[in-house]
Structure 1
Amino acid sequence: MAQNDLLQKYKMSSVLIKLIVINVIVFFVFYLGSFILRINEADMKSWFALPLQTWDFLYKPWTFFSYAFLHSGFWHIFFNMLILYWFGNIVLNLFKERTLLTLYLLGGVAGGVLTVLAFNLFPAFDGFTVGNLQGASAAVFAVMVFIATYTPNAEMRVFMFNIKLWQIAAFFVLKDLIAMPASDNAGGLMAHMGGAIFGYTYAKQLAKGNNIGAGFERFMDALVAYFSPRKKRPFKKVHRNPKGNVRSSTTSSASSKDEQQKKIDAILDKIGKSGYESLSKAEKDFLFKYRE
């Protein structure tokens, strides 16, 4: 019974909680698996971590996604999941869950692609040790930089101080850029930059009305629909008006949808200029209902 309750709670949780739970489960599977089976953890992860050697990744294309769910230690996963939780909740206050999932998955891919290119094309990386890439940091950077770019003046409480989101994101990005030349984790830091670039680009394009993740979202929707059990189409009730014309009770007014979209656009513009906290309670409630 308890197991069924946990499963039900997981199904009802947000995509943010699901991502965190999946990361934690994967971490313990490899950690405990290597201990129980007496197998080196790096060897167990070899089919899921992203290889940085020339052309090796062509034999394991799935690793561009899977590496973003692996972590090398407790503090690695702890800080990644903590930052993901902080900034992911802000994203979910303004956007639908599929936006957060797209940011996480494609942010991870962007970080992996940039790192592979850097280690195989840029002479500056010739002296660095080449290994496998693992960690959700690139995906987390994509989420953080995205929301910091879209709502730069929104604030987060950090150690009794209110700090703007753009300042937090700028600190992390600049810190990694400065540390990269002398770091023994140059690959991981480069992946952070790939995720940050994707998050920044996504936010800027979305502000212009261009959703660069729309194609990926449609692909995910189709994938979910394919593996979901098929449901019978609901019976559409019709009514006959006094003149004898048949009309559908499910027909919605296009004008009301236009008005709703205008209201959403106005709220998002206000957030972009003054931050999320500038919204009234009614505006926040409206956004929450729209996201649901």
Structure 2
Amino acid sequence: MKESVLKTFWRDTYQSKSPIPFIISVQVVIFVLIHLFDLLKEVNLLKLSLYDYAVDYLSLPLSFSQFLKQPWSIVTYPFLYTGLLQLVFDCLWLYWMGNIFLNFLNRRQFLFLYISATLLGACIYLGLGFIPMLQNSVQLSFRTSTLALGALVASVATLAPRYEVRLLLLGTISLKTIALVYVCIELVFTGLMNKAGGATFLAMAFWGVLFIRSLQQGNDFSKLKLGRLTKKSKMKVVHQSKNASVNYNSYRHISDLPNQEEIDEILDKISIGGYESLTSREKEVLFKASKDDT
């Protein structure tokens, strides 16, 4: 008997090990709910504007005194979206960059980076609220997952800067270039509306870079236990495939690094057949090369 479309969608989306569909789902559900509240107010079925109430109390305020009245906002602000286009683009970025991240690393490391960027970014944002010159902004509260996305995009570009993506009309572009453009655009638009938010976004981008650089040195922040950091001799890369996960370590001496010709051949193979067409050795070579790229 043929499996139903909904059952197939549920299995492929929510029964996978990836946390990305769950994050996106929460963002979409909250977006629909608050706009449903707005619709009910417009048709006079509600006298109280629950839309404004929800946006105010789910957003992260710049004022620390206001934050003390709504401490839950430190958790809710990355899931709150009021604009459809921003929701769509951020979900696409999360899905795209998040899956590239999970191609190389694991679910625990993804969740650590996403959650730490959300919480650390909130703390920095609240701290910047004490600076008077940063309070002169169009928007004095923060929402959306921009901070976590900044850390994620920067981490992926640091992890595999030579990884190339074929874009419509633009051709093949490296992740390093894509990340640089993304960070610059987000920094400008976020900073214009919210100065403290722009500064926090830049800090989270650096946090993403620091996380990967530390991981490459053998320090896995996602394994913090009782104040001590778990160390490894080398960074372990986990590639998730449909059938099984392939683990491999980059123990090659620097003298054994692949030359540029070999790297170009691997990148050409990705352009033709995609990342899945690579052998385990080619994936290891590509990652080792990207790790030592400056």
If the length of structure 2 is used for normalisation, what is the TM-score? 0.69
Shift of 1:144: 0.6
Counterpart in 1 of 2:130?
120
Q: Is the 8 A contact 2:24 2:91 kept in 1?
A: yes
Unaligned runs of at least 5 residues, structure 2: 228-235, 239-245, 285-294
Counterpart in 1 of 2:212?
203
Name which of 17, 20, 41 aligns with 1:16: 20
What is the total number of aligned residue pairs between the two structures? 242
Q: How does 1:90-239 map to 2 (within 5 A)?
A: 90-121=100-131, 123-129=132-138, 131-159=140-168, 160-178=170-188, 183-215=192-224
The percent identity for this pair of structures is: 22
Spell out, residue by residue over 1:116-158, the C-alpha distance to the aligned partner (whole angstroms, 9 max, x if none).
Answer: 222323x431422453211011111111111111211111222
Counterpart in 1 of 2:99?
89
1:128 is aligned with what amino acid?
S
The 1-side partners of 2:189 and 2:5 are apart by 47
SS of 1:214's equivalent?
strand
Q: Is the 8 A contact 2:135 2:196 kept in 1?
A: no
Q: Is the 8 A contact 1:115 1:194 kept in 2?
A: no
Counterpart in 1 of 2:249?
264
Change in Cα spacing, 1:12 to 1:179, as seen in structure 2 (3 Å) is closer
Spell out, residue by residue over 1:8-32, the C-alpha distance to the aligned partner (whole angstroms, 9 max, x if none).
Answer: 5554032122221221112112221
Counterpart in 1 of 2:86?
76
Alignment root-mean-square deviation, CA: 3.6
1:54 is aligned with what amino acid?
F
Shift of 1:115: 2.0
The 1-side partners of 2:187 and 2:12 are apart by 40
2:214 is aligned with what amino acid?
Q
Spell out, residue by residue over 1:206-258, the C-alpha distance to the aligned partner (whole angstroms, 9 max, x if none).
Answer: 11111123238x9xxxxxxxxxxxxxxxxxxxxxxxxxxxxxxxxxxxxxxx9
Q: Is the 8 A contact 2:139 2:194 kept in 1?
A: no
Name which one, 1 or 2, has greater alpha-carbon Rg: 1
SS of 2:136's equivalent?
coil
Q: Which one has a larger percent strand, Structure 1 or Structure 2?
A: 2
SS of 1:213's equivalent?
strand
1:282 maps onto 2:279 in alignment = yes
Name which of 59, 62, 68 aligns with 1:52: 62
